[in-house]
A and B are shown apart, each in its own frame.
Chain A
Amino acid sequence: DQQVKQNSPSLSVQEGRISILNCDYTNSMFDYFLWYKKYPAEGPTFLISISSIKDKNEDGRFTVFLNKSAKHLSLHIVPSQPGDSAVYFCAASTNYGGSQGNLIFGKGTKLSVKP
């Protein structure tokens, strides 16, 4: 039973356009959400995060939006660049119930940005 779902295994976008990666979750106790970027043969790199007290967080070309009522978050990349081509993982955590903040990961979305 997946608590964090990334329903699109892949996404292809033209360079300069917007990339939108989506993530849905089922556990209403999740209160912290993160996006990681992963290149082949490398470890995931932390990209951006958002706590449940916010609905938007921005860092340069990357913006994460959180819709708690829909249990949905999205990552916007504007403008997209070929170097953004990677697998993006959504992750969620909760500090309740003694879970100590373990991250629950989605299965990832492979983004391809074409020149």
Chain B
Amino acid sequence: DVKVTQSSRYLVKRTGEKVFLECVQDMDHENMFWYRQDPGLGLRLIYFSYDVKMKEKGDIPEGYSVSREKKERFSLILESASTNQTSMYLCASSLTGIFENTQYFGPGTRLTVL
């Protein structure tokens, strides 16, 4: 069964703090993604990774960085959290291949920055 887990369901941080969001998948998927979801804006891609050590910017990478040291793990880092980064963060993974673009999502992390 497909399984994507995220380290926290709810997180409260203060402005200026460094924040780590962890995502782990057990499906041996090559691709991993970080999105944020905000009301009325849908899912917006922050960063993605096609392989270990590789990363690509998505649509809204500003204020974020990522790390992928192992195939199963993809971390999102907020170097200095700000209130406009309060959001629902979603991690996803997928296989590589023609028509194998189905992404499987974790449960999400609701981050509040005070």
Contact = CB atoms under 8 A, between A and B. Distances in A.
Interface of A: 9, 31-32, 34, 36, 41-46, 49, 51, 89, 93, 95, 100-103, 105-108
A101 B102 CA distance: 9
Interface of B: 4, 9, 31, 33, 40-43, 45, 48, 50, 88, 90-92, 94, 96, 98-108, 110
Contacts of B45: 102
Interface majority SS (helix, strand, loop, mixed), chain A: loop
Contacts of B42: 89, 105-108
Contact of B103 (A42, A95, A103): A103
Contacts of A42: 107-108
A95 B43 contact: no
A100 B43 contact: no
Contacts of A108: 42
B99 A105 contact: no
